[in-house]
Amino acid sequence: MKLVVMKFGGTSVEDAVAIDRTARIVSGRRAQGVVPIVVVSAMAKVTDHLIAASNAAGRGDRAGALAISARLRHRHHDTARKLLTQGPTYVETPDFCEISEWIDKHFESLDEIFRGLAAVGELTARTSDLVVSFGEQLSSRMVTAGFATRGLDAVHVDSRKCIITDAQHGRAIPNDAVIENRLAETVLPLLRDGKLPVMGGFIGSTEDGVTTTLGRGGSDFTAALVGGGLNASVIEIWTDVNGIMTADPRICPNALRVKTISFEEAAELAYFGAKVLHPATILPAVQKNIPVAVLNSRNPQNEGTRITALAAHCRSPFKSIAVKRRLTIIDVVASRMLMSHGYLKSIFDVFDKHKCAVDMVSTSEVSVSLTVDSNEKLPEISADLGKIADVKYEGRKALVCMVGEDIRGQNGIAAQVFQAIRHVNVRMISQGASEINMSFMIEEDDVEEAVRSLHAAFFQDPDPEVFDVEARAAAIAETVPK
């Protein structure tokens, strides 16, 4: 059995049209003889709305929470109607009536929770998990029904029966061994019977049956857990872009699709802002050497990007350029600290105290520059730092991060990078920490210029094994007047 986990994100199930397209993609895979298991996110933006509603209820704003809930109820009914009824008059089929009743039942219990929360005026992490879990509970049921009416033999599997976690609500840690057993008990028999299991991503439960979630964006994590637990041949992450690109196409119109990238490279990129997927979440797959493919459900013919444990050899040193904007540089200078120890510790203690994450650090004997991506705690942080050193900060900075395994041990790469952007003022540089990334800070206003220059310097003659060169050639041909 060639098992493939197919995970569809929120935009791939956002309405009836998207779910219909998703059904066709899954049918296509089955026609190729593979055995799919489907994992779905909540419909696009539903998780955000559920969080907003539970926060409103927790503040005592009952009407606000119920209004959001009413809109979500309407959206799910509307989607189910378009998905499960036929013709312009929407004749109500038994499938539709069943799911429609089910949706109502769920929204009634959700509203009960909101009323309770508003009365108590307090939202716990445990209740928040229960509320947000409705997004995936609803989408997975609806997708199952939609698939079933399209001849796909779909069976709904409640993820909370398989994805067993600890009780850290909001970011629960899965128990791999138990999950493997549960998947073998509930999902494997369905697959052997030729059924198509459909499960919600993101949600799980403790051994005692209390609903938990795996953290925002956690459906990718579910896909990796299911793929890892069942030893799938590949895990497909279906989203709405053509995979990972060499640069942001909005900045660089001739950016190329990266056909294959290593897990480590993808991890560096994700941290620095490439939002295609969060690689930490696919770790269970990588540890078992299961490749992960990022694919576009609006353009299913496209091969997307394949993420593998080891990188293919690549002629160009870099795979991709990522940018993180809206950063602030904090310069800390303390001459009296010269030659003394414990200096860095005392600085980092301040950031720790204010729970502020630091992105990049550069140090000299008496000064340290750090960057942070949130200005929220800046006044408090500089007041505390001011007790041990002189502090200055400057906002509107951006971090450019160039990633590629093939820069390891290569000479002259830094010279090429800084030659390409010689006209741009570089404020901080960091290389070496991960060996596969070279990062530096520039002014936000210089980002476009810097990325285009770097892209021109390093992706002029791209390796066709690693980058989708044909797409660029086709785009150029299109712009040439006939």
Q: Candidates 3-11, 159-167, 332-340, 467-475: pick the segment binding Mg ion (CB under 5 A).
A: 3-11
Closest CB 215 distance from ligand ASP, rounded Å: 8
Residue 204 contacts ligand ASP per CB under 6 A: no
Task: Quote the CA–CA distance of 268 and 279 in Å, as a whole number.
Answer: 9
Classify 192 as helix, strand or coil: helix
Smallest CA-to-CA distance from 441 within 275, 330, 320 is with 330
Cβ pair 398, 454 in contact under 8 A: no
* 217 contributes a contact to Mg ion by CB under 5 A: yes
> What is the distance between the alpha carbons of residues 165 and 206, in angstroms, rounded to a whole number?
5
Is residue 200 a contact residue for ligand ASP (CB under 6 A)?
Answer: no
227 binds ligand ASP (CB under 6 A): no
d(CA 243, CA 301): 12
Q: Within a 10 A sphere around the Cβ of 200, how many other Cβ atoms? A: 29
Q: Which is nearer to ligand ASP, 218 or 229 (CB)?
A: 218
Pick one of ligand ASP, Mg ion, none as the site partner of residue 439 (Cβ within 5 to 8 A by kind): none
Binding mask 125-144 for ligand ASP (x = CB under 6 A): ----------x---------
Does residue 10 interact with ligand ASP by CB under 6 A?
Answer: yes
Residues 6+ apart with CB under 8 A from 368: 331, 332, 343, 344, 347, 361, 362
Find the shortest distance in angstroms from Cβ 146 to ligand ASP: 18
Q: How far apart are CA 168 and CA 238, in angstroms?
A: 28
Q: Site for ligand ASP (CB under 6 A): which residue of 47, 127, 165, 262?
A: 47
What is the C-alpha separation between 337 and 389, in angstroms, rounded?
Answer: 9
Residue 279 as a binder of ligand ASP (CB under 6 A): the answer is: no
Q: Would you give the DSSP letter of residue 432?
A: S
Closer by beta carbon to Mg ion, 202 or else 343: 202
The secondary structure of residue 10, as a DSSP letter, is: G
* Inter-residue contact 135 to 42 (CB < 8 Å): yes
Angle at 242 between CA 150 and CA 247, to 5 degrees: 165
Of 212-220, 287-295, 316-324, 356-364, the segment contacting ligand ASP by CB under 6 A is 212-220
* Residue 174 touching ligand ASP (CB under 6 A): no
Among 41, 85, 100, 137, binds ligand ASP (CB under 6 A): 41
Which residues form the interface with Mg ion (CB under 5 A)? 9, 217
Which residues form the interface with ligand ASP (CB under 6 A)? 9-10, 41-42, 47, 135, 201-202, 216-219
